[in-house]
Chains A and B, each alone.
Chain A
Amino acid sequence: MTSGAPPANVNSAGLTREVYKGLASTLCAGCGHNSITNHLIKALYEYGVEPHKLAKMSGIGCSSKTPAYFVERAHGFNGVHGRMPSLATGAKIANRELMVLGISGDGDTASIGLGQYCHMIRRNVDCTYIIEDNGCYGLTKGQFSATADRGSVLKKGQVNEFETIDVCGLAIELGATFVARSFSGDGKQLIPLLQAAFSHRGTAVLDIISPCVTFNDHEGSTKSYSYVKEHHAILHTPDYIVGGQEITVDYEPGTVQEVEFDDGSRILLRKVEIDYDPTDSVAALTMLHEGRGRGELVTGLLYINVKAHDLAARENLPQKPLAQLNENELRISREDWSKLMESFK
Chain B
Amino acid sequence: MQINDLTIRAATVNGSGSQSANLVLANAIFRLGIPVAPKNVFPSNIEGLPTWFDVRVSPQGYQCRSREIDILVALNPVTWHADVPDVKPGGAIIYEESYAVTGVTQRNDVVYYPVPFAKMAKEQIPDAALRKYLTNMIYVGALAELLGIGEETIEAALRAQFKRKLSAVDTNMNAVRLGMNYVRENLPKTDPYKLEPMTGLTEGLILMEGNTAAALGCVMAGCTVAAWYPITPSSSLCESFIQYCDRYRVDATTGERKAAVLQAEDELAAIGMVFGATWAGARAMTSTSGPGLSLMAEFAGLGYYAELPGVIFDIQRAGPSTGLPTRTMQGDVAFAYTLSHGDTKHIVLLPATAIEAYEFAAQAFDLSDRFQTPVFVLSDLDLGMNLWMTEPLAYPERGFDRGKVLSAADLEAAQSWGRYRDVDSDGIPYRTLPGTNHPNAGFFTRGSGHNETAHYSEDPNVYRNNLDRLNRKFETARGAVPKPVVEESGKPTALIAYGTSHHAVVEARDRLHAAGVETDYLRVRALPFTPEVFEFIERHERVYVVEQNRDGQLYGLLRAELPARSIERLKSIRHYNGVPIDASAIIDPLMQLEQTELVPA
- Which residues of A are interface residues toward B (Cβ below 8 A)? 23, 50-53, 55, 57, 67-68, 72-80, 83, 85-95, 97-98, 115-116, 118-119, 123, 315-318, 321-327, 329-332, 334, 336-337, 340-341, 343-345
CB distance from B168 to the nearest CB of A (A): 16
Contact of A76 among B260, B281, B445 (CB under 8 A): B445
A26: nearest chain-B partner, CB-CB: B456
Contact of A68 among B268, B392, B399, B444 (CB under 8 A): B444
Binds A, one of B132-140, B250-258, B322-330: B250-258
The answer on a CB contact under 8 Å between A344 and B282 is no
The CA-CA distance from A97 to B432 in the complex, in Å, is 16
Interface size on B, residues (CB 8 A): 72
Contact of A336 among B248, B266, B274 (CB under 8 A): B248
Contact of B456 among A68, A75, A322 (CB under 8 A): A68
Q: Which 3 A-B pairs have the closest CB atoms?
A: A90-B276, A86-B272, A323-B281
B121 at interface (Cβ–Cβ under 8 A)? Answer: no
The answer on a CB contact under 8 Å between B435 and A87 is no
Known interface pairs A52-B438, A73-B439, A332-B244. Does A116 touch B280 (Cβ–Cβ under 8 Å)? no
B101 at interface (Cβ–Cβ under 8 A)? Answer: no
Give the residue among A86, A92, A315, A332 with the most B Cβ atoms within 10 A.
A86
Give the residue among A116, A119, A323, A334 with the most B Cβ atoms within 10 A.
A323
B396: nearest chain-A partner, CB-CB: A331
Give the residue among B244, B272, B276, B439 with the most A Cβ atoms within 10 A.
B276
The CA-CA distance from A75 to B244 in the complex, in Å, is 33
Binds A, one of B111-119, B221-229, B485-493: B221-229
Contacts of B265 in A (CB 8 A): 115-116, 118-119
The answer on a CB contact under 8 Å between B269 and A83 is yes
Contacts of A329 in B (CB 8 A): 258
The answer on a CB contact under 8 Å between B276 and A341 is no
The CA-CA distance from A88 to B272 in the complex, in Å, is 8
The CA-CA distance from A73 to B440 in the complex, in Å, is 7
Q: Could you pull out 27 A-B pairs where Cβ atoms are within 8 angstroms?
A: A51-B439, A74-B434, A75-B433, A75-B442, A75-B443, A76-B443, A78-B447, A79-B302, A80-B302, A83-B299, A89-B262, A89-B273, A90-B272, A93-B282, A94-B225, A94-B277, A95-B280, A98-B280, A98-B434, A98-B435, A318-B254, A322-B225, A322-B260, A323-B224, A331-B396, A332-B244, A341-B393
The answer on a CB contact under 8 Å between B276 and A89 is yes
Contact of B435 among A90, A97, A123, A343 (CB under 8 A): A97
Known interface pairs A93-B262, A345-B160. Does A327 touch B276 (Cβ–Cβ under 8 Å)? no
B298 at interface (Cβ–Cβ under 8 A)? Answer: yes
B13 at interface (Cβ–Cβ under 8 A)? Answer: no
The CA-CA distance from A147 to B256 in the complex, in Å, is 41
B208 at interface (Cβ–Cβ under 8 A)? Answer: yes
Contacts of B444 in A (CB 8 A): 67-68, 75-78
CB distance from A85 to the nearest CB of B (A): 8
Contacts of A88 in B (CB 8 A): 276
Known interface pairs A86-B268, A115-B269. Does A330 touch B249 (Cβ–Cβ under 8 Å)? yes
B425 at interface (Cβ–Cβ under 8 A)? Answer: no
Contact of A317 among B160, B256, B276, B446 (CB under 8 A): B256
The CA-CA distance from A202 to B246 in the complex, in Å, is 25
Contacts of B445 in A (CB 8 A): 75-78
The CA-CA distance from A50 to B176 in the complex, in Å, is 68
The CA-CA distance from A79 to B443 in the complex, in Å, is 14
CB distance from A149 to the nearest CB of B (A): 28
Known interface pairs A73-B442, A95-B435, A332-B244. Does A323 touch B282 (Cβ–Cβ under 8 Å)? yes
The answer on a CB contact under 8 Å between A316 and B266 is no
